[in-house]
């Protein structure tokens, strides 16, 4: 057993657990967006940041991918952590301003608007990659992926055209934390029978 502290509370974990998993086991909530139990964590959204303190030195880590180790001191709601989360929410509000879920979470941290430029006010996708991960890891296909790079990055099927690879299981819609996949799935799934009729 590995012993360490979360918010000054003594906790025990086994090797291989992450800080987030241990915290949840002890009922300590850490906010997450890009984390889902069914797929491997990717540490993309950085919302689950926690502070690791050692005497007068400290650092911030993403708890969903940070493995536990003996004697660490984790703090989940310090001023530094909250400050970072506020920044992340501001960035998310500029990235996906139309997402109701993100707005509500941001509100809890007192973030109502963003100082960053908003590219597309109707965007609700925050590019966390849960949909692409679930497609690959759970469904066993890779019908969707992130396309392009940098500010042009988006989620979709190759060439943004409906693909026969997609079996239309809807896992990406269910897992999407911001409801963005709902408007996208129709540009991914294809109706095989319709295609056959067209080919005829």
Partner 1 sequence: MESNARVGVFICKCGDKIEPFIDLNLLQDKLLKDQNINYCEIMPYSCLKPGIENIYSKVINQKLNRVIIAGCESRLMLKKLEKELEPLDLKKGQIDIVNIRGHVASVSDISSAMKADKSAKLIKASAAEMVSLAPTIQSLARIEGPVMILGSGFASYTAAHELINNGFDCLLPSEIIESDFIINNLHLKYPGEYVYYDKLKLIRKELSTSKHVSAIPPGELIRLSGVTGDYKLTFSENDSGKEKSYKAGAIIACIDSDLKATDAEFWYDGQKVICQTEIEEIIQNKGIQEGKVVFWVNDYEAGYPEFSNLSSKSAWSMAKHIRELHNRVEVIILYNEQMQIPLSAEERSIGRKLGILWLPYDKEVRPSIQEGYITVCNIKDHVEYDISWDYMVLSPERKLYGNTLKTAQILGLVHKDGHFLAGRHVRVRPEMVGREEMYLAGSGKYPCNLNDALAQGYKAGKKTSEMLQKSKACELYLPRIVCAVDPQKCVGCGMCQELCDCGGIGAIEGTGGGLPRIVDPMICTGGGTCAASCPYHALILQNNTTDQREARIAALSRELSGSEVIGIACAWGGLPAADNAGAKGLKYDPRLHILGVPCVGQLDPCIFARAFLEGAPGLILIGCNPDECHHSYGIDHAGSRVTIIKKLLTMCGFDRRRIALAHADLNKPEEFIRTIESFTKTIEALGPIERNSINISKLESIYGLVKDNTRIRHLLCANLRRPWEHSYKGEPRHALEYDRDFSDALTEELLNTRVLRLLRLYNRPTMLQELSSNLMVDKKKVGERIWDMVNEGRVQYTHKDSEPMFIAHA
Residue 139 C-beta: closest distance to partner 1, Å: 6
> Is 13 among the residues that bind partner 1 (CB under 8 A)?
yes
Residue 121 C-beta: closest distance to partner 1, Å: 22
Which pairs with CB-CB distance under 8 Å and at least 24 residues apart come from 97-101?
A: 97/121, 97/122, 97/123, 98/122, 98/123, 98/124, 99/124, 99/126, 99/178, 99/179, 99/180, 100/179, 101/177, 101/178, 101/179
Q: State which of residues 3, 9, 38, 120 lies at the interface with partner 1 (CB under 8 A).
A: 38
- Comparing CB distances to partner 1, the nearer of 151 and 199 is 199
Q: State which of residues 19, 126, 171, 180 lies at the interface with partner 1 (CB under 8 A).
A: 171
Residues β-bridged to residue 12: 3
Sort strands 2-6 and 49-54 into parallel, antiparallel or unpaired.
Answer: unpaired
Produce one character per residue of 95-127: b if its CB has 16 or more CB atoms within 10 Å, e if not. bbbbbebbbebbeebebeebeeeeeeeebbbbb
Q: State which of residues 24, 53, 80, 86 lies at the interface with partner 1 (CB under 8 A).
A: 24
- Comparing CB distances to partner 1, the nearer of 16 and 117 is 16
> Is 146 among the residues that bind partner 1 (CB under 8 A)?
no
Q: State which of residues 44, 49, 88, 173 lies at the interface with partner 1 (CB under 8 A).
A: 173
Residues β-bridged to residue 69: none
Closest CA to 163 of 145, 182, 151, 177: 145
> Is 33 among the residues that bind partner 1 (CB under 8 A)?
no
Kindly indicate which of the ranges 1-9, 75-83, 115-123, 188-196 contains the residues binding partner 1, using the contact rule CB under 8 A. Answer: 188-196
| Site residues for partner 1 per CB under 8 A | 13-14, 16-18, 21-22, 24-27, 29, 36-39, 134, 137-141, 167-171, 173-175, 179, 182, 185-186, 191-194, 196, 199-200
């Amino acid at each position: 057993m590995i012993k360490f502290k979360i918010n000054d509370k003594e906790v025990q974990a086994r090797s291989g657990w992450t800080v987030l998993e241990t915290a949840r086991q002890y009922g300590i909530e850490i906010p997450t967006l890009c984390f889902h139990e069914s797929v491997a964590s990717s540490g993309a959204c950085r919302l689950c940041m926690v502070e690791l303190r050692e005497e007068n030195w400290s650092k911030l880590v993403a708890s969903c991918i940070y493995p536990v180790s003996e004697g660490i001191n984790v703090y989940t709601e310090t001023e530094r952590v909250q400050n970072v989360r506020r920044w992340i929410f501001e960035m998310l509000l500029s990235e996906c301003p139309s997402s109701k879920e993100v707005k509500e979470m941001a509100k809890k941290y007192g973030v109502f608007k963003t100082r960053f430029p908003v590219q597309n006010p109707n965007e609700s996708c925050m590019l966390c990659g849960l949909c692409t991960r679930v497609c690959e890891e759970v469904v066993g296909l890779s019908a969707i992926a992130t396309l392009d790079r940098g500010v042009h990055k988006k989620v979709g099927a190759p060439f943004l055209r409906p693909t026969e690879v997609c079996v239309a299981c809807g896992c990406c819609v269910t897992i999407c934390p911001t409801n963005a996949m709902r408007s996208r799935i129709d540009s991914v799934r294809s109706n095989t029978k319709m295609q056959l009729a067209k080919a005829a």
